[in-house]
């Protein structure tokens, strides 16, 4: 057994020296976890040999060999452990330094401004180091060279920015250590665990990173992920304010779906044979009902549901809508002049502009799927995914991305980007939520019951869009048939 221990110790030393020289020649760190197993095996064999020899009453010899193997494996194992832990500490410290530089720009960035310097600085960390050098001294090159790439677009619409924007100046990124790390040829990959602390609670994040090694073994870091930072770790722990924000997003999303369904005639709610959709499309009754129930608030929503759920048969047969509903006389004027149709900055289109005419056509034909909530069976590749919550002294707004299909959108993949904006129609509740924002309550494990049952009434205030049609047709492999 002493011979076996010596053999294992010898193999361990040879492997350690050989692999170390090879790694040094390639300018790579020596990261071989299985070496600890060989050292451990040598220690166990040497210990067993010493015990067996000591209990043999002189019939067995080899204590010096067992002791030598013991010390070789123990000292060698501890030395390699010290090297490994020091290397891991330097990798972690270096990755955290790069993370701090990136998150500093993230917290100051405005993703809605493509010329924002902090955003483009943050985007630099997404680029491979060899592509970063030229753009670093001229940030306009970031947008110029990479603005049309999927990585740039997905980063602008990342799940990070809505959270950072509504908690401006109150966010802290706290590194939690390396989840994993692995060296490669001329590079080093790691996955850094981070805790994002905000007034809304604590959000665990996973940030995959890669370092390119130059000739002096200096690490130049790149962030490998552009979105989905919260998807691979546990659920966040929300404060009372955070639970209010989630409740607002849930109820506002439901109101958005109800508004679009009502403006489309609530087709999924109709018994078979009750509705003539061609008549309704031509008469534009459904958009008018949806507008008055959710925008102008001149028609009670239960009444709108009864009109659309029970009266379409009478409408289709006789066109006698005025028999039970006179309508809002200001509806047409509102579509022609109000801020319900706004550009991407929330500014109302002029009454005589061509874009207002295009927007009005879209809304009056919403039954044809010309306005759809993003992410609900819409256009593949559509970049906007995140809701936005704006909490200000003037009120609380929640907006959702929508796909808008103007008349000049020629194919199913061509749409314009837009946002449907709602406001909380309860000033007292809005004041309560704003007070929770500054209360500094600690994260909670479960949703408070009083928040879970809080009713929230939302009113649609506008639809924002620049009405610029873009094609999101998937790029097929070269050489395929046309249109694929």
Give the tens place of pLDDT for each residue, 138-173: 666 666 666 666 777 778 888 888 899 888 889 999
Least confident of 100-104, 136-140, 309-313, 438-442: 309-313
Q: Is the pLDDT of residue 315 over 90?
A: no
Least confident of 86-100, 202-216, 242-256, 453-467: 202-216
Q: Is the pLDDT of residue 66 over 90?
A: no
CA dihedral sign of residues 433, 437, 440, 445: positive
Q: Is the pLDDT of residue 459 over 90?
A: yes
- Would 22 be classed as within a structural domain? yes
Are 383 and 153 in contact by the 8 Å Cβ rule? The answer is: yes
Q: Among residues 17, 35, 26, 22, which one has the least CA distance to residue 187?
A: 26
Do 315 and 223 fall into the same domain?
Answer: no
Helix runs in 311-453, H state only: 312-318, 331-337, 354-364, 427-437, 449-452
Domain boundary residue, one of 221, 236, 251: 236
In this predicted structure, what is the pLDDT of residue 275? 47
Do 441 and 297 fall into the same domain?
Answer: yes
> What is the average pLDDT value for the chain, to the nearest integer?
80
Q: How many CA atoms lie within 13 A of 312 on its CB side?
A: 27
Do 262 and 162 fall into the same domain?
Answer: no
* CA–CA–CA angle 229, 230, 235 (5° rounding): 165
**DSSP 8-state class, residue 234:** P
In this predicted structure, what is the pLDDT of residue 277? 47
Q: Is the pLDDT of residue 470 over 70?
A: yes
| Tokens 């005419």 belong to residue | 357
Do 129 and 61 fall into the same domain?
Answer: no
Higher-pLDDT residue of 266 and 52 is 52
CA dihedral sign of residues 275, 281, 287, 289: negative
Domain count, the chain: 3
Do 196 and 122 fall into the same domain?
Answer: yes
Do 219 and 265 fall into the same domain?
Answer: no
Do 131 and 54 fall into the same domain?
Answer: no
pLDDT confidence of 323, banded at 50, 70, 90?
very low
d(CA 335, CA 327): 14
Higher-pLDDT residue of 458 and 220 is 458
Structural domain harbouring 384: 240-471
In this predicted structure, what is the pLDDT of residue 346? 82
What is this structure's pTM? 0.78
Domain boundary residue, one of 236, 263, 279: 236
- Would 57 be classed as within a structural domain? yes
Least confident of 41-45, 288-292, 419-423: 41-45
Higher-pLDDT residue of 56 and 124 is 124
Share of the chain above pLDDT 70, in %: 83
Average pLDDT of the residues in 275-302: 73
pLDDT confidence of 281, banded at 50, 70, 90?
very low
- 286, containing H or E segment: helix 285-294
Higher-pLDDT residue of 415 and 378 is 415
- 209's CB contacts (< 8 A; 6+ apart) are 95, 98, 99, 189, 190, 191, 192, 221, 222, 223, 224
Do 450 and 313 fall into the same domain?
Answer: yes
Q: Is the pLDDT of residue 484 over 70?
A: no
Higher-pLDDT residue of 5 and 422 is 422
Q: Among residues 369, 370, 404, 373, which one has the least CA distance to residue 387?
A: 373
In this predicted structure, what is the pLDDT of residue 419? 93
In this predicted structure, what is the pLDDT of residue 408? 85
Do 189 and 251 fall into the same domain?
Answer: no
């Amino acid at each position: 057994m002493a011979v076996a221990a010596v053999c294992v110790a010898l193999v361990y030393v040879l492997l350690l020296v050989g692999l170390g020289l090879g790694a040094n020649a390639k300018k790579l760190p020596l990261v071989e976890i299985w070496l600890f197993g060989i050292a451990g095996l040598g220690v166990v064999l040497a210990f067993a040999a010493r015990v067996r020899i000591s209990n043999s009453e002189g019939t067995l010899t080899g204590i010096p060999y067992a002791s030598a193997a013991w010390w070789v494996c123990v000292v060698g194992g501890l030395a390699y452990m010290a090297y490994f832990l020091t290397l891991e500490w330097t990798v972690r410290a270096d990755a955290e330094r790069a993370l701090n530089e990136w998150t500093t720009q993230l917290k100051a960035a405005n993703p809605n401004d493509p010329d924002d310097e902090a955003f483009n600085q943050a985007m630099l960390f997404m680029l491979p180091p060899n592509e970063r050098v030229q753009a670093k001294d001229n940030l306009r090159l970031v947008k110029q060279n990479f603005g049309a790439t999927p990585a740039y677009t997905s980063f602008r619409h990342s799940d990070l920015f809505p959270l950072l924007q509504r908690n401006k100046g109150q966010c802290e990124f706290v590194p939690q250590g390396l989840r994993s790390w692995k060296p490669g040829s001329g590079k080093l990959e790691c996955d850094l665990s981070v805790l994002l602390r905000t007034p809304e609670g604590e959000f665990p994040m996973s940030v995959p990173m890669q370092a390119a090694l130059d000739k002096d073994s200096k690490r130049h870091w790149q962030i490998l992920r552009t979105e989905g930072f919260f998807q691979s770790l546990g659920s966040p722990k929300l404060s009372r304010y955070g639970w209010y924000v989630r409740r607002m997003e849930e109820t506002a999303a439901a109101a958005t779906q109800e508004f679009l369904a009502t403006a489309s005639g609530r087709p999924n709610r109709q018994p078979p044979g009750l509705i003539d959709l061609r008549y309704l499309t031509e008469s534009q009754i459904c958009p008018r009902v949806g507008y008055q129930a959710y925008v102008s608030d001149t028609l009670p929503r239960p009444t709108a549901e009864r009109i659309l759920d029970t009266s379409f048969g009478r409408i289709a047969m006789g066109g006698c809508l005025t028999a039970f509903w006179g309508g809002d006389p200001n509806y047409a004027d509102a579509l022609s002049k109000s801020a319900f149709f706004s550009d991407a900055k929330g500014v109302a289109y002029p009454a005589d502009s061509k874009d207002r005419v295009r927007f009005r056509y879209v809304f009056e034909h919403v039954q044809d799927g010309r306005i759809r909530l993003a992410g609900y069976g819409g256009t593949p590749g559509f970049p906007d995914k995140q809701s936005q919550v704006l909490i200000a002294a003037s009120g609380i707004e929640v907006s959702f991305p929508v796909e808008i299909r103007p008349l000049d959108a020629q194919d199913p993949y061509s749409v314009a980007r837009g946002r449907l904006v709602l406001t909380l129609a309860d000033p007292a509740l809005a004041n309560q939520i704003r007070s929770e924002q500054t209360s500094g309550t600690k994260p909670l494990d479960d949703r408070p019951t009083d928040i879970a049952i809080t009713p929230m009434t939302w009113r649609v205030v506008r639809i924002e869009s620049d009405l610029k049609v873009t094609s999101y047709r998937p790029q097929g492999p070269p050489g395929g048939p046309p249109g694929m």
